[in-house]
A and B are shown apart, each in its own frame.
Chain A
Amino acid sequence: DAKTTQPPSMDCAEGRAANLPCNHSTISGNEYVYWYRQIHSQGPQYIIHGLKNNETNEMASLIITEDRKSSTLILPHATLRDTAVYYCIVRVGNTGGFKTIFGAGTRLFVKA
């Protein structure tokens, strides 16, 4: 599975959009980009995933560059409850990709 690079920490003002970047320059054509977040000491929670196209759900939007070497997770209106560690992961899609390897993630601080 491809490695990812994320900034160790970021700040965001409450109510503003939080844009979390992820580099995955060695991603393969059949690998998806997944995002999870971990609030305090809880188990990580799935947010969103994508292959080529941009994706949006009730939690966030995922923007993947055309060359697929990087992506951005967007939380449109960050709240204090969005303070968490965000993990960007790339792996082969659901029919394969048995391993799911987490990196260190980005610690997002949402400030009032």
Chain B
Amino acid sequence: NAGVTQTPKFRVLKTGQSMTLLCAQDMNHEYMYWYRQDPGMGLRLIHYSVGEGTTAKGEVPDGYNVSRLKKQNFLLGLESAAPSQTSVYFCASRRTGADTGELFFGEGSRLTVL
């Protein structure tokens, strides 16, 4: 049981390049989230999904796109990377139902845009 897995863990991009971060969870969770964390700051919600085929905007969605084609995967895309998108990106998931509803996080993906 791997939990939440993010790939890649590190990436360096040049301004204007595109890339996709992959989040995979093996817990059959309905909800999935993408956050970014800048140095010394808390986490900010980029986009989230409440089920396969659905996505919604969070606090800071501009410059990012997401897709949830399969329940277990949540992809975060940067179409034209900018230095302001240099950050650590965290994916999280949680289940629905009568339980704690706690978030399970991945280990993070560190992105640098030059």
Contact = CB atoms under 8 A, between A and B. Distances in A.
A105 B45 contact: no
B43 A102 contact: yes
Chain A interface, >50% SS class: loop
A43 B107 CA distance: 5
B99 interface: yes
A1 B106 CA distance: 24
B45 to A, nearest CB: 6
Interface residues of B, number: 30
A45 B104 CA distance: 7
Interface string B57-96: 0110000000000000000000000000000101010001
25 contacts: A32-B101, A34-B102, A36-B103, A41-B108, A43-B4, A43-B90, A43-B105, A43-B108, A44-B43, A44-B105, A45-B105, A87-B43, A93-B101, A94-B96, A94-B97, A94-B100, A98-B48, A98-B56, A100-B45, A100-B92, A101-B45, A102-B35, A102-B42, A102-B45, A104-B41
Interface of B: 4, 31, 33, 35, 41-45, 48, 50, 56, 58-59, 88, 90, 92, 96-108
Interface of A: 32, 34, 36, 41-46, 49, 85, 87, 93-95, 97-105
Nearest to A32: B101
Contacts of B100: 46, 49, 94
B71 to A, nearest CB: 16
Contacts of B59: 101
Contact of B33 (A93, A100, A103, A105): A100
A41, A43, A102: residue with the most chain B Cβ atoms closer than 10 Å? A43
A90 B88 CA distance: 24
Nearest to A87: B42
Contact of B31 (A32, A46, A87, A98): A98
